[in-house]
Structure 1
Amino acid sequence: MQRRAFVHALGASLATGPWASRVMGSPRRLNRIGLELYSVRDAMGRDPDGTLAAVRAMGYTDVELLWSFGNFGRTTEQVRAALDHEGLRAPSAHVSPTVVLVGWERSLAIAHRLGHEYLIVPSFTPDTARSLDDWREWADRFNAAGAAARRAGIWLAFHNEADHMTPIDGTVPYDVFVQRTDPTVVRHQLDVGNMIMGGGDP
């Protein structure tokens, strides 16, 4: 059977078969939809309150905060008030890797105040040499910090970048990191675009 004929036949069977109501039925409306504030970071830097209002007006219900940008100069209480004013939730935030190393318990308390379920680290400290042993060391740090986070009811997660797919001594360091982290205490925010750009295979 030619490819075009096969596709037509498949479409017809889906439209008339017992599963047609599931395939052809009305799409379900999402109750909540979120936006990474990184995508509007310039606007947030100029006018945080106005930008959050615009985000809410567009229909977004959730945002991912940027602790790594210092929450654009706002204190924890100012951020909390702005979220409440717009009726937004912030289930997650991107944070600097130093947060894991210094004052972690304090950061977990702040995360609770802001309603976070996840604190997500997208990179390591600049002094990291990026050897495979460095990746293993960071995995161990994540496991320890992640265990503390779970006790506080929060998840620690890691966000992959494109260069995390670049092999070191023939081994993809991100794979080493994932294999060494404990899935019961550490989550991974998979950025498929970054992975593909880095030559990885989602």
Structure 2
Amino acid sequence: MHTRRSFLKTSALYSAGILAAPAIPSFLSAGPVIGLQLYTVRDFMAKDPKGTLAKVAQIGYNSLEGATYNDGKENFYGMDPKTFAGVLKNNGLVMRSCHYRLGEDSSGATLTNGEYKGTILHDWDKAVADAHSLGLQYMICAWLSPKERGGLDHYKKMAAEFNVAGEKCKKAGIQFCHHNHDFEFDPQSGKSGYEVLLSETDPQLVKMELDLYWATKAGKDPVKLFDAHPGRFPLWHLKDMDNTPKHSFTEVGSGTVDFKRIFAAKAKAGMKYFFVEQDQCPGSPFDSITKSITYIRQNLV
């Protein structure tokens, strides 16, 4: 983990403009900003990231959220920030945010020199510097492994760590957020871990990327969350829930989530960007994201 001295040095570079982020390119295709979380096409990104990004752009997505960085290699799909930025620009794409891990255990992260590199708790300074170089606006805590969840006291400890991570992001002109699943809403002694994260973090340093599917599955009304914490939810994940006992993932507009009602409250939420994400698809994920973007264009933007 970097020292305070190294962090202050990096912060000075930001302030001096030495680590200037590249200008965000104009979209090659006109139209509303519609985002995709690349986890949806993760298998294809692993095999052919350039070809996959070209196909995503051809379908009509122009805004992206990355799904990987902290794999021990600390890069974006096998590319350094400059190379990856060039691929994005060539396809008229903007990567606005990326997902990262907390780094308390090895789930989803590779151990390097005794640390889970590229995570919030390990080598975060480099992760922030690379995000800044790529021009990211948001860095997101993506998922908490079972070992990283714990009780309410552990969530309080995590909130303090999020504040530190958020302060480092702020110095680089980046907003730190947390992306939920359903387990954060599990009640513990009359309170949930999600409530602790909301109450114990600085609202300016730590905001939320609300996953509408997982919040709904946990029995929470997104609109009521917006009412209780206005302006705290700049990012959303759009995924739908099918009308079966399993409540499985399905394409946006094909299930039971009332997206029109939720979008009507976007100003209260403080929503800036949204990203389609479908963890599991019945066939080709490209077919699923095409179906989702068609509904979004016709009904939500």
TM class by shorter chain equals 0.7 to 0.9
In 1, Cα distance between equivalents of 2:148 and 2:49: 32
Structure 2 unmatched runs, 5+: 1-29, 104-118, 223-301
Number of the residue aligned with 2:173:
153
Number of the residue aligned with 1:51:
52
Number of the residue aligned with 1:79:
84
SS of equivalent to 2:120: helix
| CA shift digits 1:164-188 (9 cap, x unpaired) | 1111223211111111111111110
Q: Write 1 or 2 for the structure with the bigger share of helix.
A: 1
Q: Residue 117 of structure 1: CA displacement? A: 0.3
**Mapped contact 1:158–1:187 kept (Cα < 8 A):** yes
In 2, Cα distance between equivalents of 1:129 and 1:106: 25
Number of the residue aligned with 1:131:
151
Q: 1:109 to 1:69 in 2, by over 3 A?
A: closer
The answer to whether the aligner puts 1:172 opposite 2:192 as a matched pair is yes
Number of the residue aligned with 2:102:
97
Q: Identity over aligned residues, as a percent?
A: 34
Q: 1:51 to 1:179 in 2, by over 3 A?
A: same
SS of equivalent to 1:74: coil
User: RMSD of aligned C-alpha atoms?
Assistant: 1.9
Instruction: Give the number of aligned pairs.
Output: 174
| CA shift digits 1:117-167 (9 cap, x unpaired) | 000012235533511001011111111111121121101100010111111
The answer to whether the aligner puts 1:141 opposite 2:161 as a matched pair is yes
Q: Residue 68 of structure 1: CA displacement? A: 4.7
Number of the residue aligned with 2:225:
none
**Mapped contact 1:83–1:89 kept (Cα < 8 A):** yes
**Mapped contact 1:43–1:51 kept (Cα < 8 A):** yes
**Mapped contact 2:81–2:131 kept (Cα < 8 A):** no
> 1:188 corresponds to which letter in structure 2?
M
**Mapped contact 2:136–2:174 kept (Cα < 8 A):** yes
In 2, Cα distance between equivalents of 1:40 and 1:180: 34
> 1:143 corresponds to which letter in structure 2?
N
Structure with the greater alpha carbon radius of gyration: 1
Structure 1 unmatched runs, 5+: 1-28
Larger CA deviation: 65-74 vs 35-44: 65-74
> 1:50 corresponds to which letter in structure 2?
G
**Mapped contact 1:122–1:161 kept (Cα < 8 A):** no
The answer to whether the aligner puts 1:112 opposite 2:117 as a matched pair is no
Number of the residue aligned with 1:62:
63
